């Protein structure tokens, strides 16, 4: 008979084994035993169960020089799928990844409404459609994470989304009533920082990621967890005042950082000044290539104000890795070098400053990764998928 205690211990051991397999990517039974301090017999029995469940697979290593070829264990990427949803102003992106975090499919639907009662049925309908496409895999869709561009409480309730004018909405329970899959609600900047940690910066336990697109959001990964603050709203760094009595912001203050150092501040200015309604990165790239002085000066000002806020952030958090997620920084020559030259205070300390290699998709990929982490119930993930290869754009289809 399996007693309550025995079942509990079995569950703990299972979790330890999964954590180690996820951490190492590939590991033999013997090394699992060493890493977990569990006996070979326990490892053998648990691994047999995990193989039976289809959650892990065995790989026979080829070209092994000495002795027997070890049999390696790794997560079975095809056992199930994660669904990441980015609920943004004007569009909703859906990305499905396998259990190793590799995106396999993606779709975008345009959103012509900001009303919650109209958005909810769209989400339910799309999720049900996607779920039905993945029923043949062992676990189907293992979890869904919805990214919200606004304030999310620690209890995963949506407190406020400025561009939708949404207040106090419980999307999690509204979705769970209709869909029998674990649902999580998370802030978009948090998910971008999670993607940076999981896909790129495997070694750090202190990472900040500032997204500079429609405003400025800050995601903070500290000791393998989000730093959320008291209510869950930490990281609203775009509303730090950098110019006293400066440009008015819709938060009610003047001179907020994001009025000077977010991409939308540049887009709004140029769109108005040059009378182009749908201004794109290609326009800006073209003007920069042509040596347009006004655009160059705008970019220099952008870097200047960006550096002021970064200096404040660095002094506040002393980060190990600081990632800047911005397409404009990617296209403007020498931008990173110029920013780091501005961060020359003898007090400011950070180890690495870099421009995101994942880019705008970090939010939705972070959502997929978080769903995987919750499903596996592990403290952190190191996913092997190399996003730099960037078939994401090409491989994904609606």
Whichever of 251 and 308 has its CB closer to Zn ion, that residue is 251
Contact 314, 218 (CB under 8 A): no
Backbone torsions φ then ψ of 182, nearest 5 degrees: -65, 130
Distance, CA of 68 to CA of 60 (rounded, Å)? 10
Distance, CA of 181 to CA of 176 (rounded, Å)? 7
Distance, CA of 310 to CA of 113 (rounded, Å)? 35
Whichever of 79 and 256 has its CB closer to Zn ion, that residue is 256
Out of 26, 179, 249, 396, the only residue in the binding site for Zn ion (CB under 5 A) is 249
Whole-number minimum distance, CB 239 to Zn ion, in Å?
Answer: 4
Whichever of 253 and 357 has its CB closer to Zn ion, that residue is 253
Whole-number minimum distance, CB 316 to Zn ion, in Å?
Answer: 18
Q: Which stretch binds Zn ion (CB under 5 A): 2-10, 64-72, 144-152, 250-258?
A: 250-258
Whole-number minimum distance, CB 317 to Zn ion, in Å?
Answer: 20
> Does 243 sit near Zn ion (CB under 5 A)?
no
Out of 146, 256, 261, 371, the only residue in the binding site for Zn ion (CB under 5 A) is 256
Whole-number minimum distance, CB 161 to Zn ion, in Å?
Answer: 15
Binding residues with Zn ion: total (CB under 5 A) = 5
Whichever of 108 and 249 has its CB closer to Zn ion, that residue is 249
Out of 181, 251, 336, 396, the only residue in the binding site for Zn ion (CB under 5 A) is 251
Backbone torsions φ then ψ of 112, nearest 5 degrees: -100, 20
Query: What residues between 319 and 358 interact with Zn ion by CB under 5 A?
Result: none
Contact 383, 369 (CB under 8 A): yes
Whole-number minimum distance, CB 308 to Zn ion, in Å?
Answer: 15
Nearest partner of 372 among 101, 29, 107, 16, judged by Cα: 101
Beta strands 56-60; 71-75: pairing state:
antiparallel
Whichever of 116 and 233 has its CB closer to Zn ion, that residue is 233
3-state secondary structure of 396: coil
Q: Which stretch binds Zn ion (CB under 5 A): 64-72, 115-123, 241-249, 290-298?
A: 241-249
Whole-number minimum distance, CB 250 to Zn ion, in Å?
Answer: 7
Q: Which stretch binds Zn ion (CB under 5 A): 5-13, 59-67, 171-179, 256-264?
A: 256-264
* DSSP labels, 209-257: EEE-SSS-EEEEEETTEE--TTTS-TT-GGGSB-STT-SB-TTS-BSBT
Out of 10, 131, 163, 239, the only residue in the binding site for Zn ion (CB under 5 A) is 239
DSSP state of 70: P
Q: Which stretch binds Zn ion (CB under 5 A): 34-42, 231-239, 284-292, 367-375?
A: 231-239
| Residue 221: both structure tokens together | 């990964």
Nearest partner of 44 among 28, 61, 21, judged by Cα: 28
Backbone torsions φ then ψ of 33, nearest 5 degrees: -60, -45
DSSP state of 238: G
Q: Which stretch binds Zn ion (CB under 5 A): 12-20, 223-231, 237-245, 364-372?
A: 237-245
Q: How many CB atoms lie within 10 A of CB 95?
A: 23
Whole-number minimum distance, CB 268 to Zn ion, in Å?
Answer: 15
Whole-number minimum distance, CB 369 to Zn ion, in Å?
Answer: 30
Whole-number minimum distance, CB 159 to Zn ion, in Å?
Answer: 16
Contact 216, 238 (CB under 8 A): yes
Distance, CA of 371 to CA of 377 (rounded, Å)? 10
Q: What Å distances lie between residue 270 and 19, 246, 361, CA to CA?
A: 49, 19, 25
User: Interface residues with Zn ion (CB under 5 A)?
Assistant: 239, 249, 251, 253, 256
């Amino acid at each position: 008979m399996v007693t309550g205690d025995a079942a509990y211990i079995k569950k703990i051991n299972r979790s330890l084994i999964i954590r180690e397999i996820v951490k190492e990517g590939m590991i033999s039974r013997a090394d699992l035993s060493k890493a977990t301090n569990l006996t070979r017999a326990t490892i053998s029995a648990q691994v047999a169960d995990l193989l039976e469940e289809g959650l892990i697979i065995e790989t026979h290593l080829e070209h092994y020089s000495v002795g027997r070829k070890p049999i390696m264990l790794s997560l079975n990427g095809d056992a199930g799928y994660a669904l990441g949803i980015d609920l943004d102003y004007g569009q909703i992106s859906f990305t499905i990844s396998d259990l190793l975090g590799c995106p396999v499919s993606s779709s975008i639907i345009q959103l012509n409404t900001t009303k919650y009662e109209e958005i909810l049925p769209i989400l339910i309908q799309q999720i049900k459609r996607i779920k039905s496409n993945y029923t043949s895999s062992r676990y189907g869709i293992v979890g869904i994470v919805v990214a919200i561009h606004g304030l999310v409480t620690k209890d995963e309730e949506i407190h406020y989304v400025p561009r939708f004018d949404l207040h106090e909405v419980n999307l999690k329970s509204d979705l769970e009533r209709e869909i029998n899959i674990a649902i999580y609600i998370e802030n978009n900047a948090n998910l971008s920082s999670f993607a940076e940690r999981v896909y790129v910066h495997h070694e750090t336990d202190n990472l900040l990621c500032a997204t500079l697109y429609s405003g400025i959001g800050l995601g903070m990964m500290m000791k393998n967890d989000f730093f959320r603050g008291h209510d869950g709203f930490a990281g609203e760094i775009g509303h730090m005042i950098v110019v006293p009595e400066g440009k008015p912001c819709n938060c009610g203050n003047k001179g907020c950082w994001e009025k000077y150092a977010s991409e939308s501040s540049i887009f709004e200015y140029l769109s108005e000044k040059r009378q182009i309604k749908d201004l794109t990165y290609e326009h800006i790239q073209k003007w920069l290539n042509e040596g347009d002085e006004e655009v160059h000066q705008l970019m220099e000002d952008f870097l200047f104000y960006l550096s002021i806020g970064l200096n404040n952030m660095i002094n506040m958090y002393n980060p190990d890795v600081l990632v800047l997620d911005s397409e404009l920084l990617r296209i403007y020559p020498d931008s990173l070098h110029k920013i780091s030259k501005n961060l020359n205070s003898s007090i400011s300390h950070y180890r690495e400053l870099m421009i995101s290699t994942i880019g705008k998709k970090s939010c939705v990929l972070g959502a997929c990764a978080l769903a995987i982490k919750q499903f596996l119930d592990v403290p952190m993930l190191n996913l092997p998928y190399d996003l730099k290869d960037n078939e994401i754009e090409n491989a994904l289809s609606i």
